[in-house]
Amino acid sequence: MEDIPLETAVALAGAIPEEAAAPFSKARFAYDSVRRKILDGAYQPGDRLRLSELARQLGLSEMPVREALRLLQKDGLIVMRLHRGAEVARLSFRRGLEVTEARMSLERSAVLSALPYHDAASLRDLARWLAELERATTRPEVFALKNRAFCTALFARCPNGYMRQLIEDLWDQIWQASSTSVFAVMRHRVPETIEENRAILQHTRDRDRRKLGAAMEARQRNTLRAWQGAIADQESARNGAV
């Protein structure tokens, strides 16, 4: 990856933490910029990402942008099409089910590993995210964001950093669907999610590993059942349209 001086990076990125004394990577800047636009919905599923246009927008040569696209493809956020180049990955409900199952299985292990490390401060954070979640029941996108924040706080104290990063990466792979459609399509999951998270927080406070594990399993089971129901509804609608 190419490096650029810190002062040039500041001009490109707008602001860089003071501790970032090392040279700033052009490819990393391109990767972070495009990735954020995908996750924020500025680039929609199916949108073409033209190399020359991205390079021009970012003020870079095509080489670091090409490297960034390669990394985004590895993350599952874009796909490379023959004769078309890169485009934002489209997520089917079936793919969403597979990614969610993998994420929640890892999440359960991470949450249980984090249990002994929670303290008064982390429990306050969990309670705050839960309270914000309860106030967002009529706004699916905000509800999804607060739910992710609560879930992330649950496993944030897990000592296995690699596992934490894997979970975040899996969240990101389906974030556009999770943040824009899951709770809108699966409305029954809104009150269920609140009740599940209340139980999970209580078991975390009590440091009850057995009950916490059971609550995490129940949430995963209910979530996957909702995805399966969405898949069945989608397939039924397609068949009815034929």
Q: Mean pLDDT throughout 130-137? A: 96
- The 10s digit of each residue's pLDDT in 8-22 is 443 434 433 333 333
Query: Do both 98 and 132 map to the same domain?
Result: yes
Query: Residue 200 sits in which domain range?
Result: 93-237
Both 111 and 170 in one domain: the answer is yes
Q: Does 209 lie in the same domain as 177? A: yes
Confidence of residue 128 (pLDDT cuts 50, 70, 90): very high
Asked if residue 176 and residue 99 are part of one domain, the reply reads: yes
Shortest CA distance to 212 belongs to which of 94, 81, 111, 98? Answer: 111
What is the full DSSP assignment across 58-71? Answer: HT--HHHHHHHHHH
For residue 242, tell me if it sits in a domain: no
241 vs 76: which has the higher pLDDT:
76
Reported pTM:
0.71
Q: Model confidence at 112, in pLDDT bands (50, 70, 90)?
A: very high
Is residue 103 domain-shared with residue 133, that is, in the same domain? yes
Which of 88, 111, 129 represents a domain boundary (last residue)? Answer: 88
For residue 23, is pLDDT > 50? no
pLDDT digit string, tens, across residues 221-241: 999 999 898 888 777 766 765
CA distances from 18 to 7, 21, 49, 95 (A): 12, 7, 32, 40
State the burial class of residue 153 (Cβ atoms within 10 Å of its Cβ: 0-12, 13-18, 19+): buried
Distance of CA 151 to the CA centre of its chain: 11
- Residue 58 falls within a domain, yes or no? yes
Structure tokens at 3: 């490096």
Judged against a pLDDT cut of 70, whether residue 171 lies above it is answered with yes
Structural domains in the chain (count):
2
* Residue 174, number of CB atoms within 10 A of its CB: 21
Tokens 């680039």 belong to 43
Q: What is the C-alpha to C-alpha distance for residues 103 and 155, in angstroms, rounded to an integer? A: 12
Mean pLDDT, rounded, of the chain: 84
Distance CA 17, CA 15 (A): 7
